[in-house]
C-alpha cells in the first residue's frame, strides 16, 4: 500500500506534546504487531519475548525492538513485553481507542465485498455509510446499511462524524469523489481506484493497488528464474517476505 502525504501527522503539532514522532515504516509495522499481539492474547499469553513477537509479526527482532522503543516500550529483561499493555499502547498510538466512522463510496464489485466484510469492526472501524451514483444501487440494503445517493455524502459526513472515506469507484470518478469527501470534512482517504488523487494539505491519502503488489511479486519471480538460469544453477535461498513497509 502506498501513501500520498499531503498533510502533517497529528503528532508534533503542539496539540498533543507527548505524541511520538514515528517513522512511516514503524507506523506501517504497528498494525502487524497489534494483530500478532491479539493472537497471543487470545491463546492466553500474558508476556512475549521480542523474538517471539517478531516471528509472529514476520519482522526481525532488532527492528521490532527499535520500533517499540519509539513508543517508550522496552520490555523487561528475561520476561519480555506485557501483551495487554503493549496492545493498549499500540491501539492508543494508532488512535484505535475510538472506533472511527468510515464512508464507502462506490458499491460495485469491490465495494460490495468491502461493505460485507465483518472484520473491520474488531480492528477499530465502522463502515457507517454507503454511497453510489447508480440509481440501481441506491436503496439496496447491504450488511445493515442502505446505499445512499452520492449527493447525500456531504450531509452524512457531518451527521455521522465520518473522518475516513474509502473510494471504490472507477478511476474516472475518483477525483470528484475525493473533492466531495474533502469538502464535506473528511481528512483521510483510502483509494482503491488506480489513479493519483490531488488533495489539499492536511488530508492523508493511502492507495491500495493489488496489481502493483502482483507486479512486485512478478519481479521476484523474474529474478528467481534468472538466478536459476545462471551457470551453476544458483538458486535463491530464503523467501523474501515483506508484510509491511520497511
Which residues are known binding-site members? 106-111
142 counts as binding ligand NAD under rule CB under 6 A: no
Binding mask 13-52 for ligand NAD (x = CB under 6 A): ----------------------------------------
* Helix H or strand E encompassing 168: none
**From 41, 85, 142, 171, residue interacting with ligand NAD (rule: CB under 6 A):** 171
Strand 81-82 versus strand 47-48 pairing type: antiparallel
Q: Is residue 209 within 8 Å of 179, Cβ to Cβ?
A: no
To ligand NAD, the closest distance from the beta carbon of 28 in angstroms equals 17
181 counts as binding ligand NAD under rule CB under 6 A: no
Q: What share of the chain is helix, strand, coil (3-state, %, to 5)?
A: 45, 15, 40
* Helix H or strand E encompassing 54: helix 50-57
Instruction: Please report where in the chains the cell 544453477 appears, as a residue.
Output: 233
Q: 59 vs 23, 66, 83, 89, 238, CA distance in Å? A: 16, 12, 17, 19, 14
**Which region, judged by CB under 6 A, interacts with ligand NAD, from 23-31, 96-104, 169-177, 182-190?**
169-177
Instruction: Please report where in the chains the cell 472507477 appears, as a residue.
Output: 170
Q: What is the chain's length?
A: 246
- Binding-site residue set for NAD(+): 106-111
Give the burial class of 102: count Cβ atoms within 10 A of its Cβ; 0-12 exposed, 13-18 middle, 19 or more buried: buried
Q: Which residue is nearest to ligand NAD (CB)?
A: 108
**From 95, 116, 185, 194, residue interacting with ligand NAD (rule: CB under 6 A):** 194
Q: Looking only at residues 55 through 114 of this chain, which bind ligand NAD when binding is defined by CB under 6 A?
A: 105-111
157 counts as binding ligand NAD under rule CB under 6 A: no
**From 96, 173, 184, 244, residue interacting with ligand NAD (rule: CB under 6 A):** 173
**From 133, 142, 145, 244, residue interacting with ligand NAD (rule: CB under 6 A):** 133
To ligand NAD, the closest distance from the beta carbon of 49 in angstroms equals 36
Q: 113 vs 44, 109, 117, 143, 202, CA distance in Å? A: 32, 7, 6, 10, 29
Cell readout for 149 is: 445517493
116 counts as binding ligand NAD under rule CB under 6 A: no
139 counts as binding ligand NAD under rule CB under 6 A: no
130 counts as binding ligand NAD under rule CB under 6 A: no
Which spans of this chain sit near ligand NAD (rule: CB under 6 A)? 105-111, 131-134, 137, 150, 168-171, 173, 176-177, 192-194, 208-210
Amino acid at each position: 500500500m502506498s501513501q500520498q502525504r499531503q498533510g502533517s501527522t497529528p503528532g508534533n503539532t503542539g496539540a498533543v506534546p507527548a505524541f511520538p514522532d514515528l517513522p512511516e515504516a514503524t507506523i506501517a509495522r504497528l498494525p502487524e504487531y497489534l494483530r500478532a499481539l491479539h493472537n497471543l492474547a487470545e491463546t492466553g499469553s500474558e508476556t512475549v519475548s521480542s523474538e517471539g513477537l517478531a516471528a509472529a509479526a514476520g519482522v526481525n527482532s532488532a527492528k521490532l525492538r527499535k520500533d517499540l522503543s519509539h513508543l517508550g516500550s522496552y520490555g523487561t529483561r528475561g520476561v519480555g513485553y506485557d501483551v495487554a499493555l503493549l496492545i493498549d499502547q499500540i491501539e492508543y498510538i494508532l488512535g484505535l481507542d475510538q472506533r472511527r466512522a468510515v464512508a464507502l463510496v462506490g458499491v460495485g464489485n469491490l465495494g460490495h465485498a468491502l461493505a460485507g466484510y465483518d472484520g473491520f469492526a474488531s480492528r477499530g472501524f465502522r463502515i457507517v455509510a454507503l454511497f453510489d451514483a447508480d440509481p440501481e444501487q441506491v436503496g439496496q440494503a447491504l450488511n445493515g446499511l442502505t446505499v445512499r445517493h452520492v449527493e447525500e455524502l456531504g450531509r452524512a459526513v457531518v451527521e455521522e462524524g465520518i473522518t475516513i472515506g474509502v473510494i471504490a469507484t472507477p478511476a474516472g470518478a475518483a477525483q470528484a469523489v475525493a473533492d466531495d469527501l474533502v469538502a464535506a470534512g473528511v481528512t483521510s482517504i483510502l483509494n482503491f481506484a488506480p489513479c493519483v488523487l490531488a488533495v489539499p494539505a492536511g488530508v492523508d491519502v493511502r492507495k491500495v493497488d493489488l496489481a502493483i503488489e502482483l507486479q512486485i511479486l512478478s519481479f521476484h519471480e523474474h529474478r528467481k528464474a534468472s538466478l536459476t538460469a545462471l551457470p551453476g544453477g544458483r538458486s535463491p535461498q530464503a523467501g523474501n517476505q515483506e508484510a509491511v513497509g520497511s
